[in-house]
A = this chain, B = another copy of it.
Amino acid sequence: LTTVTIDDVAELADVSIKTVSRVLNNEPNVRAATREKVLAAVKQLEYRPSQSARSLAGSRSFLLCHFYDNPSPAYLLDVELGASSICREAGYHLIVERLDGSDPTLAASIGATVTALRLDGVILTPPISDNTAVLDILERNDTPYVRFAPYMVRNRGASVAMDDRRAAYEMTGLLIGLGHRRIGFIKGHPDHGASDVRLQGHLEALRDQGISVREDWIKQGYFSFDSGVAAAESLLTAAERPSAIFATNDDMAMGVVTVGHRLGLDLPDQLSIVGFDDTPGASYVWPRLTTVRQPVTQMAAAATQMLISGEATRSKWPAGKAPARLLDFEIVVRDSARSPDAASAGRRRD
């Protein structure tokens, strides 16, 4: 088993290796007939250029990397789904590295990977997307990056996002439209920038509808099922409890559902619950969750495209302004939110 090299192709096609290189890199100034000859030889020999040699000699490695810390499983899968397909089309490959966001050597570790691999670009998801030490080291190494949902640290580098604020605004509006006035809210993990943005959207919707904010109905959560359970317990065992709860991710919403059942509440009649993310489990619980679907796969595809096309490269930014792509979310209406009036019509409350 000998590896086929550019020399073999050049010899078979009866041209120089430089011409083979031109054809493979789609450079101009090659006669059509010459191109055909080369392509035929490539095909016949099943030639695949060595990534190492290309990287060492040239300026590209054809390697992208996704650095992440403890994402939800579905989020990771969607990111890879979007990134992997774009990579394949362009002859790039996706490396993944899981890191501990609280590790003080995080940035150094990313710097090591970036220089060892000569990465052509980096994808950063929350909460690493808001880690300024990481952004610093990436910029020092001249490595393009795209940040997902870059809410805590703004105006730094290319990004992809959806409008979390508006999604939360509309979800709260949906509950209000159903007739809810007493709405509980469970915040996300404080390390994630989206957490605060979603809260802001919620508060705006309340204000726009003239509903006063009840601080005691806003609970801290951490995006985990257990934190949803804890918040729901405190919300639902209080003297006066909300008629609806907006949990800012599905895992927490499912915690609320569990507590609701445990307390013997008739869901959704006695308590409406809405989530955020549309994880697979959202349609498995009863009642099936009304939630926000994030365009994670499309965000990943867009990010990858920005990296490969060079849009994410600082020196190519139009007017020095980093590109930011905003994608559409979707509110998926299922069974977990209902009008509180319907409930009182169907049964006595208290």
Q: Residues on A close to B: CB < 8 A?
A: 1, 3, 48-53, 55-56, 61, 71-74, 76-77, 80-81, 84-85, 88, 93-98, 109, 112-113, 115-118, 140-142, 225, 251, 254-255, 257-258, 261, 280-281, 283-286
A285–B251 alpha-carbon span in the complex (Å): 11
Write out the residue numbers on chain B whose beta carbons fall within 8 Å of the beta carbon of A115: 3, 48
Nearest-neighbour CB distance to chain B for A17, whole angstroms, equals: 16
Shortest CB-to-CB span from A121 to chain B, Å, is 14
Give chain B nearest CB distance to A272 CB in angstroms.
18
A51 to B: closest C-beta gap in Å: 5
Q: Is the CB of B97 within 8 A of A94?
A: yes
**What is the bound-complex CA distance between A285 and B261, given in angstroms?**
10
In the complex the two chains form, is A95's CB within 8 Å of B98's CB? no
Going nearest first, the 4 A-B pairs with the smallest beta carbon separation are: A73-B73, A281-B281, A52-B55, A254-B284
Q: In the docked arrangement, what's the CA distance between A3 and B246, Å? A: 51
In the assembly, what is the distance between CA of A73 and CA of B76, in Å? Answer: 7
Residues of chain B contacted by A94 (CB below 8 angstroms): 95-97
Stoichiometry, copies per complex: 2
Residue of B nearest to A260 (CB): B286
A80-B76, A80-B98 known; A52-B118 Cβ under 8 A: yes
Q: A287: nearest residue on chain B (CB-CB)?
A: B261
Q: A53-B56, A72-B73, A280-B281 are in contact. List 11 more A-B contacts (CB 8 A).
A: A1-B141, A1-B142, A76-B80, A85-B98, A93-B95, A96-B96, A251-B284, A258-B284, A281-B281, A284-B285, A286-B286
List chain B residues, Cβ under 8 A from A225. Answer: 280, 283-284
Given A52-B61, A56-B50, A140-B1, is A98 in contact with B76 using a C-beta cutoff of 8 Å?
Answer: no
The contact of A73 among B255, B280, B283, by CB within 8 Å, is B280
Task: List 28 A–B pairs whose Cβ atoms lie within 8 Å, in order of A's numbering.
Answer: A1-B140, A1-B142, A48-B112, A48-B116, A50-B118, A52-B55, A52-B56, A53-B56, A73-B74, A73-B76, A76-B76, A84-B96, A84-B97, A85-B98, A88-B97, A93-B95, A93-B97, A94-B95, A94-B96, A95-B95, A95-B96, A96-B96, A225-B283, A255-B284, A281-B281, A281-B284, A281-B285, A286-B286
Shortest distance between the CB of A14 and any CB in chain B (Å):
24
Which B residues lie within 8 Å of A95 (CB)? 93-96
